[in-house]
Amino acid sequence: MPEPPEPPRKIVLARNLEEAPRGSLVYVDRKGKVRSPARYRALMATSYGLLVATVGGASALWISMIGVVPGLALGLGFTGWAAWMLRSNFQLRTGMQLLLSERMDEAIPHFERASRARFTPGVSKALAMQNLGAAYAWKGELETALRYQRRAIKQYGRSRSGKRLHAKLVRYAEISTLANLDRAEDARQRFESLPVPGDDSDYLRVLHWGAELQVCMAEGHCPLSEDDIHARAIVALRITTAGPLIALLAWAHRENGDDDQAWHLLREAYDREHTPGLTAAQPRLWAWMEANKAAAGVGPYRSE
């Protein structure tokens, strides 16, 4: 008899953005700022007896920190988590556990069932579609990923519960996918339509930087100044799983003629934990990394 599959990875909440390890989650408030696990637990403690209010109101998010792949934020919304005893939200939770375990093919059917379930809050359906977009992006099926991302954006637009932050996250995913489908003009238009996150929106700020750099790479030039690139690199280097963002900043330094900083950041990017889906979801970045790793003095990309 074949051995039963290993149980999926448990959902773990990291203390902060900087220390979040591979496969963990962070709690993000509706402004896009990472908050402590204690704050989330306090919200949950006051909300368990108020299921109706929870489903209708709060928009706090669990955000996947798998590699901080710019634009590929995953969400299990406060709505879905508080109502997870419902069948559709159980599917959503199981799918997220499988996705965190990098078992995309197993996760996809759970998200598909959650996206089609009857009597399910619109935000939960949109989250399922958003996660389907991420799963297909990590598989390299970018056209399919784009289709689900746009379905999620449309579904968020119909919901009154937490739609602003949720929709921003999936819009960053859409920008990333467009850039990697060589649709730079479309990606630029959508990027310019988004507001610049403030300093108090640390998670959104990181996604914004990553999306902008992916658009710039698709366009073939980097308009950012050396000071801007350096300031972003200081922030990115503090984040354990920010390898892809650090690699994008290496590319930006290289475009501006600063090879020393470019190769320093590229070595740092290779030294970070493996980022699932990088080669498939961001093929242009991966190709640049591989083409320049010898010049930077790094070895093979660590896959484990």
143-154 per-position pLDDT tens digit: 999 999 999 999
| Ordered DSSP codes for 24-38 | -EEEE-TTS-EE-HH
All structural domains of the chain, each given as residue ranges with its CATH number in brackets, are 25-192 (1.25.40.10)
* % of the chain at pLDDT higher than 70: 74
- Tens-place pLDDT, residues 171-225: 999 999 999 999 999 999 999 999 999 888 888 899 999 999 999 999 999 999 9
Where b means 16+ CB within 10 Å and e means fewer, 155-193 reads bbeebebbbebbbbbbbbbbbbbbbbbebbebbbebbee
Q: How far is CA 229 from CA 152, 195, 208, 256, in A?
A: 32, 19, 13, 10
**Type and span of the H or E element at 49:** none
**What ranges make up the beta strands (E) of the chain?**
25-28, 34-35, 61-64, 75-77
Section 264-289 average pLDDT: 87
For the chain, the straight-line distance linking the first and the last C-alpha, in angstroms and rounded, comes to 29
pTM: 0.82
With bands split at pLDDT 50, 70 and 90, how would you rate the model's confidence at 2?
low
Q: How far is CA 69 from CA 26, 244, 255, 284, in A?
A: 14, 6, 21, 14
- Rounded distance between C-alpha atoms, residue 9 and residue 299, angstroms: 29
- Rounded distance between C-alpha atoms, residue 176 and residue 167, angstroms: 14
Identify the CA nearest to 152 among candidates 240, 64, 77: 77
| Residue of higher predicted confidence among 114 and 30 | 114
Section 285-291 average pLDDT: 94
User: Which range has the top average pLDDT, 83-97, 124-138, 169-183?
Assistant: 169-183
